[in-house]
């Protein structure tokens, strides 16, 4: 157990990262990818940390996935050689930033699109920069966010537009089964993953029957990847949350709370008959109680006395948050003002994005790692 004296002396709120747990999660996912013969290109929007990304690549990841051009720039300038931008880029200015950064560092950038307009601006800016850019078509496998429906007749036409452009390369198709987070069990998550796989293979086959080579079939979403054992026809996986995990995959049944590597340390600053009031509110924990509109019954996080972290008898729920206060249901416990509480977040990705650094718990003590791409949403 981590020395309580180290925890007791920390200023709060603090975002803690357990290095041993994180590395266990990274190795497990790389082992899964290697076992099934698929490339692992982790999504860094969860951790936004160059140090963490370097560890992922060091274990065998083929590159990284980002959501934004801001993130892409930071990771390109940080020495990452292959970057996939998994949110469509339709602004000429963003393309100019991305292509300039890639050219300066000789990095390979690949971008997702789902529209004629997106392809046109990509081609125009790539030609202006005298570069070739790889594009993926996004396929909507059930989340109904971005993407072309599997039977959309435009898919072949758009793939042809990319294939025929001198400055574009059609790399393949990409999906994100984010609706898997609504699964009630591991078996249900596996069904979502299998439906995604079948859909993507069918789209690939249809494109190839039209003479359009599909180099890559890329899927993502941590619960889906962890739940399934079938990857036939898939070439790449892009999970992100697995690095830290949180209560969302625990709720689905593909992870244990003891696997969660990121927690928030808070101090009890007041107390009343209902709550222990802490200094970690929505500006630390966020007000996120789920993802894609999916919520559970764990409030804004599971909380434990720091001196008895993860002990079942000490489990509490962060029931309410305001900006700088967290209200933790007492659950029959009696904690003194000044006591430390450790919170397992519902959703670790926005918690990391709000932080500026991680306090890393290592076997040798403490380190501080910057959250290099925090707030980089453009």
Share of the chain above pLDDT 70, in %: 98
User: Residue 287: is its pLDDT beyond 50?
Assistant: yes
pLDDT averaged over the chain?
A: 96
Tell me the average pLDDT across 66-90: 99
pLDDT attached to residue 254: 98
The pLDDT tens digits for 257-276 are 999 999 999 999 999 999 99
Q: How confident is the model at residue 295 (pLDDT cuts 50, 70, 90)?
A: low
B/e letters for 7-27, b = 16+ CB within 10 Å, e = fewer, are: beeeebbbbbbbbebbeebbe
What are the pLDDT digits (tens) for 219-242? 999 999 999 999 999 999 999 999
Q: What sign has the CA pseudo-torsion 96, 98, 104, 107?
A: negative
Q: How far apart are CA 20 and CA 228, in angstroms?
A: 25
pTM: 0.96
Burial of 168 (0-12, 13-18, 19+ CB in 10 A): buried
Domain boundaries, the chain: 4-16+255-370, 22-241
Residues 36-61 have a mean pLDDT of 99
Q: What is the distance of C-alpha 125 from the center of its chain?
A: 28
Whether 269 and 279 have beta carbons less than 8 Å apart is answered as yes
- Contact assessment for residue 289 and residue 300, using Cβ atoms and an 8 Å cutoff: yes
**More confident site: 70 or 298:** 70
Phi, psi of 217 (to 5 degrees): -125, 105
Checking if the pLDDT of 355 tops 70, the result is: yes
Report the C-alpha gap between 171 and 359 in whole angstroms: 39
Strand pairing partners for 173?
A: 137, 217
Q: SS3 of 79, please? A: coil
CA distances to 34, 59, 111, 242, 320 from 40, rounded to whole Å, are 8, 10, 17, 12, 37
CA angle 108, 109, 111 (to 5 degrees): 155
- Reduced to 3 states, what is the DSSP secondary structure of residue 148? strand
Q: Does the pLDDT at position 1 exceed 70?
A: no
pLDDT of residue 6: 84
Residue with tokens 């995990």: 245
Phi then psi dihedrals of residue 145, to 5 deg: -110, -105
3-state secondary structure of 197: helix
Q: Contact, 149 vs 262, CB < 8 A?
A: no
The number of beta carbons lying within 10 Å of the beta carbon of residue 205 is: 12
CA within 13 Å, CB half, 170: 23
pLDDT for residue 311 is more than 80: yes
Contact, 129 vs 100, CB < 8 A? yes
Q: Residue 292's pLDDT band (boundaries 50, 70, 90)?
A: confident
Contacts of 187 (CB under 8 A, 6+ apart): 227
Extract the tokens encoding 165: 């452009």
* Per-residue model confidence (pLDDT) at position 222: 98
Cα separation, 159 vs 172, whole angstroms: 8
Q: What is the mean pLDDT of residues 99-113?
A: 98
Is residue 153's pLDDT more than 70?
Answer: yes
- Give the mean model confidence (pLDDT) for residues 191-205: 99
**Are the CB atoms for 248 and 347 separated by under 8 Å?**
yes
Domain boundaries 22-241, CATH class: alpha beta
Residue with tokens 């790889």: 134
Q: CA nearest 194: which of 233, 155, 153?
A: 233
Please tell me the distance from the alpha carbon of residue 191 to that of residue 207, in angstroms, as a whole number.
Answer: 24
Class of domain 4-16+255-370: mainly beta
> What is residue 293's predicted lDDT score, i.e. its pLDDT?
62
CB 161 within 8 A of CB 119: yes
| Spatial distance between the Cα atoms of 114 and 220, rounded to a whole number of angstroms | 17
Does the pLDDT of residue 154 top 90, yes or no?
Answer: yes
pLDDT of the residue at 294: 67
């Amino acid at each position: 157990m981590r020395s309580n004296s180290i925890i007791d002396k920390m200023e709060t709120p603090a975002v803690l990262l357990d290095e041993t747990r994180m590395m266990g999660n990274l190795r497990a996912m790389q082992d899964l990818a290697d076992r099934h013969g698929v490339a692992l290109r982790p999504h860094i929007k969860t951790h936004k940390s160059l140090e963490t990304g370097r560890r992922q690549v060091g274990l065998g990841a083929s590159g990284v996935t980002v959501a934004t051009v801001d993130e892409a720039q930071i990771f390109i300038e940080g020495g990452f050689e292959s970057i996939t931008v998994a949110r469509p880029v339709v602004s000429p200015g963003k393309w100019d930033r991305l292509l300039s950064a890639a050219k300066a560092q000789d990095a390979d950038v690949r971008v997702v699109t789902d529209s004629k307009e997106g392809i046109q601006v990509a081609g125009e800016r790539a030609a202006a920069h005298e570069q070739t850019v790889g594009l993926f078509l996004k396929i909507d496998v059930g989340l109904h966010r971005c993407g072309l429906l599997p039977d959309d007749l435009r898919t072949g036409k758009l793939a042809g537009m990319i294939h025929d452009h001198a400055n574009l390369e059609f790399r393949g198709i990409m999906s994100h089964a984010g609706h898997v987070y609504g699964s009630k069990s591991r078996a249900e998550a596996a069904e979502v993953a299998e439906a995604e796989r079948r859909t993507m293979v069918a789209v690939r086959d249809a494109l190839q029957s039209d003479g359009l080579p599909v180099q890559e079939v890329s899927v993502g979403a941590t619960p889906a990847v962890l739940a399934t054992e079938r990857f036939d026809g898939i070439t790449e996986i892009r999970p992100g949350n697995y690095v830290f995990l949180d209560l969302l995959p625990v709720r689905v049944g593909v992870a244990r709370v003891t696997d969660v590597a990121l927690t928030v340390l808070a101090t009890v600053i007041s107390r009343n008959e209902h709550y222990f009031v802490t200094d970690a509110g929505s500006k630390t924990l966020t007000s996120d109680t789920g993802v894609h509109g999916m919520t559970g019954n764990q409030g804004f996080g599971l909380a434990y006395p720091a001196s008895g972290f993860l002990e079942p008898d000490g489990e509490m729920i962060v029931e309410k948050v305001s900006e700088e206060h967290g209200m933790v249901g007492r659950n029959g416990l009696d904690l003194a003002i000044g006591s430390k509480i450790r919170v397992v977040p519902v959703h670790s990705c926005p918690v990391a994005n709000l932080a500026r650094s991680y306090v890393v718990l290592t076997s040798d003590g403490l380190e501080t790692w910057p959250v290099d791409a925090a707030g980089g949403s453009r």
